[in-house]
Structure 1
Amino acid sequence: MNSSPTSSPQTTRASVPTIHASRYLQQLCKHWAHKFETEFDSTQGRICLPLGEARLTATPDALVIDLTATNAANMTTFQEVVVSHIERFAFREQLCFVWE
């Protein structure tokens, strides 16, 4: 059986410079807690969405976002969904998301 590259999980990471990382991590996890399985505290968060799993880490100067999409075809959409939600919480500052 042949496995296509779009059928296996894909991961990516962004480190977003901000001094409000903990606030955004908690807001995102609380926002999605009513719909999806979430676990979080002030420095670590995990959200299980239909598109995949998001793991967030708050450091004093950045929000680190690790995404594991269910497949490669979902990754761009997954990134866009996470970014758009964080940008809504961070409307007072301009964030820079660079995915590795």
Structure 2
Amino acid sequence: MSVSVARVPTASASRYLQQLAKHWSHKMEVSFSAEEARIAFPNGSVLELRADSATLDVVLTVPDDGPDDGVVARMREVVASHLDRFAFREAPLTFDWRDGDWRDGA
């Protein structure tokens, strides 16, 4: 399992979190509030989001499918590109992806 974390600076974190959750709720298992969201993808990946007044914390968990298949990079791009669509006034957002977990001090 691979865990990717990004802290995205934006004053509109809650709005983007909710827009993304609603957008994907038609095709995926989604639960969300104004501050937190969890989105389960068909490929077994899970996206968790947490919003505060200045940042959107993003945690993407991707099951291991092999060392060179590029699933993690593709999933990171899917998440970033979708959030950028909702943040078109301030896009591109800054995704400083790294391995880890927000509970580790992201």
Q: CA deviation at 1:11?
A: 0.2
Structure 2: 5+ residue stretches without partners:
99-106
Number of residues paired by the alignment? Answer: 92
More helix by share: 1
Is the aligned partner of 1:39 residue 2:31? yes
Amino acid at match of 2:83: I
**C-alpha offsets along residues 7-27 of structure 1, whole Å, 9 cap, x if unaligned?**
xx1001000000000000000
C-alpha RMSD over aligned residues: 1.0
Higher-Rg structure is: 1
Q: Which residue of 2 aligns with 1:83?
A: 80
- Does residue 63 of structure 2 align to residue 70 of structure 1? yes
Structure 1 Cα separation of the partners of residues 89 and 26 of structure 2: 25
Tell me, which stretches of 5 or more residues in structure 1 are unaligned? 1-8
Alpha-carbon offset, residue 59 of structure 1:
1.0
The aligned counterpart of 2:51 is 58
Measured in 1, the distance between the counterparts of 2:47 and 2:30 equals: 10
TM normalised by structure 2 equals 0.83
CA distance in structure 2 between the partners assigned to 1:96 and 1:50 by the alignment: 26
Give TM-score, length-normalised by structure 1. 0.88
Aligned structure 1 segments of 4 or more residues deviating by more than 3 angstroms: none
What is the identity percentage for the equivalent residue pairs of Structure 1 and Structure 2?
45
